[in-house]
Amino acid sequence: MADEKDPQLLEINPSTQVWKRLEVKLDRFALQRRRRLLYRRTAAVAAVVALLVVWGRQHWPPNNTDPYAFLFVPPAVLEELSPVDGCASVCSSLEALHSLSSWYRVREKK
């Protein structure tokens, strides 16, 4: 309860209940924000996966001797996707996969 003994004060101390209620509201806000972020990241990852599937379908089955061709996503695409929230890890994984496929290719040729 506000200090009612002196209503003429320019500054009035609020009751402790106000901060408690505000904390509950802030907790709910933080939770919603985390959820929104998670949804956004999930959507971004899903978009990358969908892109990969489309890419894979276009390149699979391989009509050439390279069975790992579908793993190759042009560096320009990766560069485009990397800054998108949540996509950076997917892009680095793709790059790693691509290097791995190159390594297999070299090994199989031998």
Partner 1 sequence: MIITGCRNLDRRSQQALYDRYAPMALGVCRRFIADPMAAEDVLMEGFFKVLTKIGSFQGVGSLEGWIRRIMVNESLMHLRRHNELKFAQDLGPDVVLRAEDPSVLDELGARDILGMLDRMPAGYRTVFSLYVLEGYKHREIAELLGISINTSKSQLILARQRMEELLRTRLGYP
Q: Which residues bind partner 1 (CB under 8 A)?
A: 1-2, 4, 7-15, 17-19, 21-23, 25-26, 29-30, 33
Closest separation in Å from C-beta 23 to partner 1: 8
Read off the tokens for 26.
């802030």
What Å distances lie between residue 46 and 39, 43, 53, 91, CA to CA? 10, 5, 10, 13
Q: Which is nearer to partner 1, 26 or 53 (CB)?
A: 26
Read off the tokens for 68.
């790992």
Integer Cα distance of 102 and 19 in angstroms: 59
Closest separation in Å from C-beta 25 to partner 1: 5
Q: Which is nearer to partner 1, 4 or 76 (CB)?
A: 4
Burial of 102 (0-12, 13-18, 19+ CB in 10 A): middle
Q: Which is nearer to partner 1, 26 or 49 (CB)?
A: 26
Closest separation in Å from C-beta 19 to partner 1: 6
Closest separation in Å from C-beta 27 to partner 1: 9
Integer Cα distance of 61 and 26 in angstroms: 53
Q: Which is nearer to partner 1, 30 or 53 (CB)?
A: 30
